[in-house]
Amino acid sequence: MGTPIAFLPILVMIVLAMGLGVVMLLLNFLIGRKQPSARKLSPYESGMPLLDESRKRISVKFFIVAMIFIIFDVEVAFLFPWATVFREGGMRLFIEMLIFLAILFAGYAYLWKKGAFDWE
Amino acid sequence: MPAFYTVTGADFAAILPETILALLGLLLILLDAFARPLRSTFPYVALVGVAIANVMGHYTTGAYFAGAIEVSDLTKFVEFLTLAGVSLAILGGETLLARDNKNQGEFYAFLLWAAAGVILMVKGGDFLVIFLGLEIMSISLYVLAAWYRELPASVEAGMKYFLVGAFASAILLFGVATLYGRLGTTSLSKIAGHVQANPAIGFDPLLAFGLVMIVAALGFKIALVPFHGWAPDVYQGMTTPAVAFLSTAPKAGAVVVLIHILAVTLPGALGVPWQPLLAILAGITILFGNVVALAQRDLKRMLAYSGIAQMGYVAIGISTFTQEAFEGVLVFLAGYLVTNIAAFLAIGALSNGEKESHPLSDLAGLGRSQPMAGGILALSMLSLAGMPPTIGFIGKFLVFRAAVDSGFVMLALVGVAGSIISVGFYLRVVYMLFMKDATREVNVAPDDIPSGAAYLLAAAGMLALGLFPSALIDFARSAASSISLL
């Protein structure tokens, strides 16, 4: 491990995978029959007919939900590593995490009071 | 150094001012959510907190967090400037925002967070801490730029500032990564040690490239000329009390960070003649800013170009690169801070409100009917033009003198020429205020105690510091002496 030669199989794999994909697409392009129709040219949606446009405006509410999600996501992302070293850290680590959670909770309380959780 | 650094209470004491400002911001947004009827008291809550943060910043000096935080007279100087700036913006901003019912607690919170970012950035002894401070500051300012979110101009200002600022941050990180790739550390003191150990390092392409990236990114933040494009639109669309802060303390912080980084890395890193290059940047900035400001008919756009030119004078001091020049730069920044905040607060008061534009012609005759705000605006224009006996004169004088003493006579002459051009548009404001008759009705902001206090403090800053500058110069001298020139 560590020497460049040890990574040779990965390089071979990359070249093979890319080569295979390029060759297949190229063959298809060169020798395949081309009979375009409206249905064939439409975006593929698991064989179902298209319902509506794929680019449309999304309500800003969803973005608020995404931002609220990040609060809890970050919280958990820090809680897991904290839990693994909690026994060694002791009281000091516990208080540090309480401070972190208190700051997050302040944000949560702010959101709640400002009505970010009201869908309507 | 040990593998693990144990953080002690002294470390936290070193960042106490930033911590207080950050928690105060948190308190203010919670107060706004839970105690909305108390809104009129929020500015005073913020001011008390700023005062406490100011007191708490005086007691520590030295390196903390294993050198990632460095507290010196220099950082204390910028800390004091920043807190003074945020106090003036809060005092004068309250009335302006209350006109449109836009004085939510979040406004003060974002101002305080931006101030915390400036202070952290300046204290940074490590590129990553500098970046962190810069981002805290910038993100708060992006939000403040779009404060009137129902106004297209304000949203445009926020969006433009965000996109350009994010781009600049990426460039800064790229430069830091390049330096790290070459030297294997992001710590400024370790880089300084490396440069000292290899005095004949000569021209190193990677280091030079990284430094150019960093200078460019900080140039964006202080709006030096090739990187100035965002300033006029942002100033115009951003609400006036927020511009008062944006145009002063963050620029002062970025300038000091730039000086700090250059002082640490330059002697060995660049074999190229960097001083003339920076001097050319300064000259172009001064001439461009002042000439384009002549053509502006919107007060905030005019002050944006004036601010670009003013940072050109600062760049003269940076390219002179002597202790004496840095002293001049610090005095200049202090004068620019108090003057520019006074100018923006007065412009905000002498207008039809933040939802309207701020054309120059609206000022006609207002100096006579509104002697207080009009007088402050006139005084600040004189100070920006560098007329004695205001502080603007002292700052410019010190910077130009340091440039002449180091042989940069041409550069000083360009600075003087720029100042002469600038008199044209600064005095036009004074002319409008006092010698023209009103052309249309302007619904000026009411005089009240907080904005009166802001005016008094600003006037005192401009006049008293201009007449008796020795205390400020001594403070700046001790601050400048903590920049160690290798």
Contact (CB<8Å) B26/A109: no
Tell me if B186 sits within 8 A of B176, measured CB to CB. yes
Spatial distance between the Cα atoms of A53 and B219, rounded to a whole number of angstroms: 43
Boundaries of every domain in chain B:
295-486
Contact (CB<8Å) A109/B29: no
Q: Which pLDDT belongs to residue B255?
A: 95
Mean pLDDT of B56-84: 91
Tell me if B421 sits within 8 A of B294, measured CB to CB. yes
CB pairs A-B closer than 8 Å: 12
- Residues of chain B contacting A103 with CB distance shorter than 8 Å: 26
Count of beta carbons in the 10 Å neighbourhood of residue A50: 11
Mean pLDDT of B440-445: 80
- Residues of chain B contacting A110 with CB distance shorter than 8 Å: 29-30, 33
Contact (CB<8Å) B30/A110: yes
Give the DSSP letter of residue B395: H
> Which pLDDT tens digit goes with each residue over B113-157?
999 999 999 999 999 999 999 999 999 999 999 999 899 999 999
pLDDT band at A64 (very low <50, low <70, confident <90, very high): confident
B263-292: b (≥16 Cβ within 10 Å) or e = bbbbbbbbeeebbeebbebbbbbbbbbbbb
Mean pLDDT of B49-56: 92
Boundaries of every domain in chain A:
60-114
Tell me if A93 sits within 8 A of A82, measured CB to CB. yes
Q: Which CATH architecture has domain A60-114?
A: Up-down Bundle (1.20)
pLDDT at B3 over 70: no
Contact (CB<8Å) B26/A103: yes
Contact (CB<8Å) B26/A106: yes
CA distances from B17 to B39, B48, B132, B329, B450 (A): 24, 13, 16, 24, 24
Mean pLDDT of A75-99: 87
Q: How far apart are the first and last CA of chain A?
A: 57
Please give, rounded to a whole number of angstroms, the shortest distance from the CA of B26 to a CA of chain A: 7
pLDDT at B471 over 70: yes
pLDDT, mean over chain A: 85
Please give, rounded to a whole number of angstroms, the shortest distance from the CA of A113 to a CA of chain B: 6
pLDDT at B270 over 60: no
Lowest mean pLDDT among A50-59, A65-74, A90-99, B465-474: A50-59
Judging by DSSP bridges, how do beta strands B62-64 and B69-71 pair with one another? Answer: antiparallel
For chain A positions 3-42, those within 8 Å of chain B (CB to CB) are none
Mean pLDDT of A8-25: 94
Contact (CB<8Å) B33/A103: no
Question: Between B195 and B262, whose confidence is greater?
Answer: B262
Angle at B88 between CA B86 and CA B91, to 5 degrees: 105
Give the DSSP letter of residue B447: P
> Which pLDDT tens digit goes with each residue over B294-345?
999 999 999 999 999 999 999 999 988 888 999 999 999 999 999 999 999 9
A71 contacts chain B (CB < 8 A): no
Q: Which pLDDT belongs to residue A1?
A: 46
pLDDT at B1 over 50: no
Question: Between A6 and B69, whose confidence is greater?
Answer: B69
Mean pLDDT of B96-107: 89
- Residues of chain B contacting A113 with CB distance shorter than 8 Å: 33-34
- Residues of chain B contacting A93 with CB distance shorter than 8 Å: none
pLDDT at B166 over 90: yes
Contacts of B131 (CB under 8 A, 6+ apart): B124, B169, B172, B173, B176
B33 contacts chain A (CB < 8 A): yes
Question: Between A74 and B486, whose confidence is greater?
Answer: A74
pLDDT band at B352 (very low <50, low <70, confident <90, very high): confident
CA B404 from chain centre, in angstroms, equals 25
Spatial distance between the Cα atoms of B452 and B370, rounded to a whole number of angstroms: 12
* H/E run at residue B63: strand B62-64
> Which pLDDT tens digit goes with each residue over B395-438?
999 999 999 998 889 999 999 999 999 999 999 999 999 988 88
Q: Which pLDDT belongs to residue A93?
A: 86
Look at residue B398 and give its three-state secondary structure. Answer: helix
CA distances from B401 to B130, B408, B475 (A): 31, 9, 19
Give the DSSP letter of residue B64: E
Contact (CB<8Å) B33/A106: no
Q: Which pLDDT belongs to residue B268?
A: 52
Residues in chain B, total: 486
Q: Which pLDDT belongs to residue B370?
A: 87
ipTM (interface pTM): 0.81
- The alpha-helical segments, DSSP class H, found in B270-356 are 274-294, 299-320, 323-349
- Residues of chain A contacting B26 with CB distance shorter than 8 Å: 103, 106
Longest dimension (CA), chain B: 72
> Which pLDDT tens digit goes with each residue over B203-255?
678 888 888 899 999 999 999 988 999 999 999 999 999 999 999 999 999 99
Tell me if B96 sits within 8 A of B43, measured CB to CB. no
Mean pLDDT of A97-115: 90
> Which pLDDT tens digit goes with each residue over B379-390?
999 999 998 889
A110 contacts chain B (CB < 8 A): yes
Burial of B321 (0-12, 13-18, 19+ CB in 10 A): buried
- Residues of chain A contacting B33 with CB distance shorter than 8 Å: 109-110, 113-114
Contact (CB<8Å) A106/B30: yes
Question: Between B274 and B192, whose confidence is greater?
Answer: B192
Tell me if B147 sits within 8 A of B108, measured CB to CB. no
B26 contacts chain A (CB < 8 A): yes
Q: What pTM did the predictor assign?
A: 0.89
